[in-house]
Structure 1
Amino acid sequence: MSTVGTTWGAEAFVGGHPALDLTNTVGGATRARDVERLHTYDDVVAWSLAAGVLDDAEATALAARAAADPEGAARALDEVRAHREALHRWLAAAVTGAEADEADRARVADDVADAHRRARPAPDPTRGPAWLVTLDDAGLALPGRRLALLTGALLAGEDRRRIGLCGRCSWLFLDPSPTRRRRWCSMATCGNRAKAARHHARATGSG
Structure 2
Amino acid sequence: MTFSWTPHRFAGGALALDVANSVILRFDDTRRIDRFSEREQLRAFPAAAEAFSAERALFGRLEPVTEENTEGFIRLREAIDRHFRAKVAGLDDRTSLADLLDATAAMLRAAGSETALEAAVAHSALRLISMPEEDRLKICGNCGWLFLDKSRNRSRTWCDMAVCGNRMKAHRHYQRSRKEGTQ
Task: Pick the TM interval, shorter chain.
Answer: 0.7 to 0.9
Percent sequence identity over aligned pairs: 31
1:158 aligns to what SS in structure 2? coil
The TM-score with structure 1 as length reference comes to: 0.68
1:45 aligns with 2:43: yes
Structure 1 moving runs of 4+ over 6 Å = none
The structure that has the greater radius of gyration is: 1
The TM-score with structure 2 as length reference comes to: 0.76
How far is the alpha carbon of 1:186 from its aligned partner?
A: 0.8
1:10 aligns with 2:7: yes
| Number of aligned residues | 171
Q: Please tell me whether the aligned partners of residues 31 and 168 of structure 1 are also in contact (alpha carbons under 8 angstroms).
A: no
1:164-203 equivalences in 2 (<5 Å): 164-203=138-177
Q: 1:92 aligns with which of 85, 88, 96?
A: 85
Aligned equivalents of 1:156 and 1:6: distance in 2?
34
Q: Please tell me whether the aligned partners of residues 89 and 100 of structure 1 are also in contact (alpha carbons under 8 angstroms).
A: no
Aligned equivalents of 2:27 and 2:37: distance in 1?
20
CA offsets 1:81-123 (integer angstroms, 9 cap, x no match): 2211221121112112246472x3222111223345567xxxx
Aligned equivalents of 1:79 and 1:191: distance in 2?
34
How far is the alpha carbon of 1:148 from its aligned partner?
A: 1.2
- The CA RMSD over aligned residues, in Å, is 3.1
| Residue of structure 2 equivalent to 1:138 | none
Q: 2:104 aligns with which of 109, 112, 129?
A: 112
Q: Please tell me whether the aligned partners of residues 12 and 21 of structure 1 are also in contact (alpha carbons under 8 angstroms).
A: yes
The letter for the 1-side match of 2:179 is G
Gaps of 5+ in 2: 51-58
Q: Please tell me whether the aligned partners of residues 139 and 145 of structure 2 are also in contact (alpha carbons under 8 angstroms).
A: yes
Q: Please tell me whether the aligned partners of residues 166 and 183 of structure 1 are also in contact (alpha carbons under 8 angstroms).
A: yes
| Residue of structure 2 equivalent to 1:83 | 76
Q: 1:133 to 1:153 in 2, by over 3 A?
A: farther
Q: Indicate the larger mover: 45-54 or 5-14.
A: 45-54
CA offsets 1:26-45 (integer angstroms, 9 cap, x no match): 114x8647122112333222
Q: Please tell me whether the aligned partners of residues 24 and 172 of structure 1 are also in contact (alpha carbons under 8 angstroms).
A: yes
